[in-house]
Chain A
Amino acid sequence: MLLNLTFLIPLFPLVGSIINGFFGLKLGEKKVGLIASAAVLLSFLTTILVFIGFLMLPEGEHAFKQTLFTWMVAGDFHVNFAFQIDNLSLVMMSFVTGVGFLIHVYSTGYMHGEYSFYRFFAYLNLFMFAMLLLVMGSNFLIMFIGWEGVGCCSYFLIGYYFEKKSACDAGTKAFVVNRVGDFAFLLAVMYIFSIFGTIEYSEVFHAAPEKLIFGGEVVTIITLLLFVGATGKSAQIPLYTWLPDAMEGPTPVSALIHAATMVTAGVFMVVRCNPLFNLAPDTMLVVAFVGAGTALFAATIGMTQFDIKRVLAYSTVSQIGYMFLACGVGAYTAAIFHMVTHAFFKACLFLGSGSVIHGLEGEQDMRKMGNIKGDQPITYMTFLISTLAIAGIPPLSGFFSKDEVLYHALTDGNIILWGMGISAALLTAFYMFRLVFMTFHGESRVDPSVHVHESPKVMTMPLVILAGLATVGGLLGIPLFHGWHLLHNWLEPVIHFDLASALHHSEHLLHEAGRHAPVWTHLLVEKEHNVWLEIFLMLFSSVVAITGIALAYIFYVKRPDLPDKLTEGQWGYDIVKNKYLVDELYDDTIVKPTVEGSKLLWKQCDARGIDGVVNGVARIIGWFSDRGKAFQSGFVRNYALFIVVGFIALLLIAI
């Protein structure tokens, strides 16, 4: 059976990583690149085979589970090392391995001649392994191996240039900030176990409506903890600060890990846990607002940055915000849809920026670029297509996915959420075209000594393929007609939710506990799919996108002197440009007090306090011993005196 090949999918990159890690130095650049890319290609091909196997499953079966061995056992706590293949994991596996393969190929060109080339590919393969565990695991702890594993590889790769202090700092920061999220995730897993007695997805999600009360405290806490975990990995407010710094890593890493795959893991996790989130409307509201807020917040910062990769980083934070907005209003399909299209166009954008940086011999500052579209025609075209996609111009992929998010934000959420989303869309169109115009158009500000050149084929081919995918990716979810929405139909078994029955269970649970159930009937009102509203929203957001582009055109092509004039001396602009000083705020309120406080603990509490007591006791005993020493003077007459004194004392006591 084809499905039995499942375990090979993560195994290939693991083997690739081990081979390259141990023997990479002897193998030489060519073979290392070949092995690493081939490993991921094999994973991709196996994924297709497994996909076919999954399609051949008999009617009514929606998941396949492969158990390899028992990982942990203690009492009734039992964790299997097992994979779960279902509609959701297959989507994730396909695009992770597919996009991953393209980025591996690109990297063989980009990293050419790099010091310790093999190390890079060993890490990159290891990352693929961890990412696949994350999406394929059949329980929360296997997901957690992947979850921390990708974080760890991200740490290695951000700090790839370990001689650069800024790169090391960024790596450590990424790890630590992620750990804050992981801390919450771990607590959520413990909580889930203490309620369900298992951490296997299928069992937990099946039992969820029967054991948890809709909107109850327990499920709200669990889902909030899970969501905090997601904000760490997926760089949302308040834990987003590590992602822009993560751009210290080589550009293909930014494309693979910090745009297409790892950072969307939080969204995947929320969608995976949708049976829990569906029961917690309060959490959903938080998710939606954090998502929309992050989308808008990061977009404003994106407008003010000059480092080409940082603009893209904030753009990533912002786009993931959209995905969470979708999750928060219960539009899980839209979240996954946007995740997939985002993987295409954002990977293309990052790789394109890598190609630009490569062509400009390492320059990342957009103020030192300009008018290179003639020198890098393929890069330019692919970059432009992807930018149009992210800006939301029909009929490119980003248009469909973003519109679906916004439509649901309005109909299933509220107008404030939609307003935040559409504002972010305006800003997105603006800052992305600002980037395009500053980089490829206008007057050249390139250092004359630099000879701008197009990148080699091995780098441009992945760009072309990704741009193609960014163009047609929208076909996955054609709007307006429900039957045509491929992704929605496909994901239906995973995100199917019977609210009425869940409410019914909750009512029973509450009655059993002697409490009254609130009135929930308004939740059950079926909402009509409003085609005209959807068409109107599409037109509206297209106009918004074009407005954004037009503004960027005016500011950065027509009147390039305007931005400086308008922003000069504006304190508001300076704050945004300095990223709202959030990093400084965290530094001053968390990092420094912790370090200073720890020093105090060490020097005062440990050295002076506890050791002071210990040494003090020793000194007191020493002092008494010193006094006692006087009695042992060695003079017989003294001893005779003590005997007499003692004798008299005894007599006195006796009387």
Chain B
Amino acid sequence: MFLTFLTFLPIVGAIVVALLPKQQEGAIKQTALAFAAADFLLSLELWRSFDVTTHKMQFEFSTSWISSWGVNYHVGIDGISLLLYVMTTFLTMISIIASWGVTKHIREYMMAMLALSTGMLGVFISLDMFLFYVFWEFQLVPMYIIIGVWGGPRRIYAAVKFFLYTAVGSLLMLVAIIWIYFIVKEQTGVATTDLLYITEHLNVPLDIQKWLWMAFFLAFAIKVPMFPFHTWLPDAHVEAPTAGSVILAGVLLKMGTYGFFRFNLPLFPHASNEFVPFVAWLSVIGIVYGALVSLVQEDLKKLVAYSSVSHLGFVMLGTFAFNHYGMQGALLQNINHGVSTGALFLLVGMIYDRRHTRLISEFGGLSKQMPKYAICFMIVALSSIGLPGMNGFVGEFLILLGFFQVDGMITAIATSGVIFAACYILWMFQRVMFHELKNPKNMNLKDINARELITVVPLIVLIFWIGLYPKPFMKTFDASVSHLITKVDPDNFRPSKHKKHEHAALIGEAELAKLQKELQGK
């Protein structure tokens, strides 16, 4: 019940906010923040009492919902969803603080933010396909409204594009869910949409697995977004208000990568293995393509948006490595991207608030005028390019290490993303923060203020914490990833097992051990 309470607390907050009179803006903001903060703090308790030694669902709760269809309200959390859940409550809180300056329809804005939070949290805990689908569609609405009402000049186009893109993907997912429902009903005689039951009992031939896999893939790949389904993202980011961008990058995209972990891999392990080259190539193209297109952007937010395409390419690559390094790296990189890119959007939002433009050419030399801002920005920028000692490196390295075991060439291409990342971030940073302060409009810019610092500093702390001591984060993944690997291990689907270390040495492991024994004997 605790999980349910945590998940629905924000929407209760939304209702409370709705009851407040419109004029009391202060009270509205404070109430919203109180609910978000409470939710975050309580979710930390979830993390504290989480048992890292088991892959089993924890804080599980199940009750019948639509009994005639076999639909349950079944929620629970495991190592794959725990940190995403906590990050969602955390970023919701940060976003509400970052939205202090919103003036237009503040009450409705806060309601939308809180409702959005419940929608996202629901996605990460649903253990029933139908329930998952409901939450998945539900969170679209508040986000659509946030972009469409509080967005920039082309907000309607962006909001509709965002909505339709996602809806098209999720419709196919719905078809797949219904298909699975009937397959399971036929095979086991049990009519249910319970995910855990289905994961255990679903048994379909490879060709049908592939069709189902594709349907889920499309839904999640659009959300991630993977190349070439990414074009909704730059538009949505550019038009969304700052907090919207933070949530979009920090949480919404993660729903896509999470979907692969929860659906594609455990439900269709064989098909997943078949599609490794396909996903790997799309990811690598995304990594390089996103980075290159980022390089030439003129709008700061667009630059960050395309960089997300590149970063999420890494996450997908790690997910499909099917080993500990890659998958744990991918899960950690989910968090890292939320932290770093979230911080980048906050920082871009700050200068947008001051200057009402995001064009790189409008800036230059801000370091002199805003030294504290410059330090924050520099740290976040460096974390985004994966400097060792900061969060991004740990995730990226593990991902690359993981996929290196699968294919060295693809990994080499993916690693080149590290070079391009340095190019686009540093070049942007130089043009915005360095050089002479020439533009008279920038002469009187105020440095970062206390409220803004409150939003960024926790993220900076996380950047170093994860970078230097990622263990508390990593160990939550371990058991769940191990369990998942036993399902998707490529060796399960190979006729012989000798392939694994073929490039490692010219001889096999066993032979080598034998040889060493002989040598020692001599």
Chain A residues engaging chain B, CB cutoff 8 angstroms? 69-77, 81, 141, 144-145, 147-149, 152, 155, 159, 162-163, 165, 168-169, 171-172, 175-176, 179-180, 182-183, 186-187, 190-191, 193-195, 210-213, 216, 218, 505, 508-510, 512-513, 515, 594-595, 597-599, 601-602, 605-606, 610-611, 614, 618
Contact = CB atoms under 8 A, between A and B. Distances in A.
A135 to B, nearest CB: 16
B388 A70 contact: no
Interface in B417-448: 418-419, 422-423, 426-427, 430, 433-437
B400 A610 contact: no
B19 interface: no
11 contacts: A72-B394, A141-B388, A141-B397, A147-B388, A148-B387, A162-B434, A183-B418, A211-B512, A601-B292, A610-B230, A610-B231
Contact of A218 (B401, B411, B475, B505): B505
Interface in B217-255: 228, 230-231
Nearest to A144: B388
A334 B337 CA distance: 46
B142 to A, nearest CB: 23
A601 B293 contact: yes
Interface of B: 161, 164-165, 228, 230-231, 289, 292-293, 295-297, 323-325, 328-329, 365, 367-368, 382, 387-389, 394, 397-398, 400-402, 404-405, 408, 411-412, 415-416, 418-419, 422-423, 426-427, 430, 433-437, 468-471, 474-475, 501, 503-507, 511-512, 515-516, 519
Contacts of A190: 400-401, 404, 411
Nearest to B160: A618
Contacts of B408: 187, 191
A167 to B, nearest CB: 8
Given A187-B411, A509-B507, A611 B388 contact: no
Contacts of A611: 231
A281 to B, nearest CB: 18
B504 A186 contact: no
B418 A182 contact: yes
Q: Which 9 A-B pairs have the closest CB atoms?
A: A75-B324, A598-B292, A190-B404, A162-B434, A145-B388, A74-B328, A168-B434, A179-B422, A598-B296
Contacts of A599: 296
Nearest to B417: A183
Contacts of B504: 194-195
B164 A74 contact: no
Contacts of B419: 176, 179-180, 183
Given A77-B325, A218-B505, A162 B367 contact: yes
Given A163-B368, A193-B401, A512-B507, A74 B412 contact: no
Nearest to A76: B324
A212 B323 CA distance: 25
Nearest to B235: A611
A554 B405 CA distance: 62
B507 A175 contact: no
Contact of A72 (B411, B415, B474, B516): B474
A373 to B, nearest CB: 38
B471 A74 contact: no
Contact of B412 (A187, A195, A509): A187
Contact of B401 (A73, A77, A180, A183): A77
B321 to A, nearest CB: 11
Contacts of A149: 387-389
A602 B293 contact: yes
A192 to B, nearest CB: 10
A598 B293 contact: yes
Contact of A163 (B388, B400, B411, B435): B435
Nearest to A621: B164
Given A71-B469, A74-B398, A210 B516 contact: yes
B415 A187 contact: yes
Contact of A74 (B325, B389, B435, B469): B325
Contact of B418 (A73, A75, A186, A194): A186
Contacts of A74: 324-325, 328-329, 398, 402, 474
Contact of B415 (A186, A216, A606): A186
Nearest to B374: A162
Contacts of A598: 292-293, 295-296
Contact of B416 (A147, A183, A515): A183
A602 B424 CA distance: 14
Nearest to B326: A74
Nearest to A504: B519
A509 B231 contact: no
A172 B427 contact: yes
A73 B471 contact: yes
Contacts of A76: 324
Contacts of B516: 210
Contacts of A193: 401, 404
Given A77-B398, A168-B435, A595 B389 contact: no
A213 B295 contact: no
A186 B503 CA distance: 18
A492 to B, nearest CB: 25
Given A159-B434, A179-B418, A594 B382 contact: no
A76 B389 CA distance: 21
A187 B418 CA distance: 11
B398 A163 contact: no
A73 B398 CA distance: 9
Given A159-B434, A163-B436, A602-B293, 16 more contacts: A72-B470, A73-B471, A74-B329, A145-B389, A162-B367, A162-B433, A165-B435, A172-B426, A183-B415, A190-B400, A190-B401, A190-B404, A194-B501, A216-B506, A614-B161, A618-B164
Nearest to A77: B325
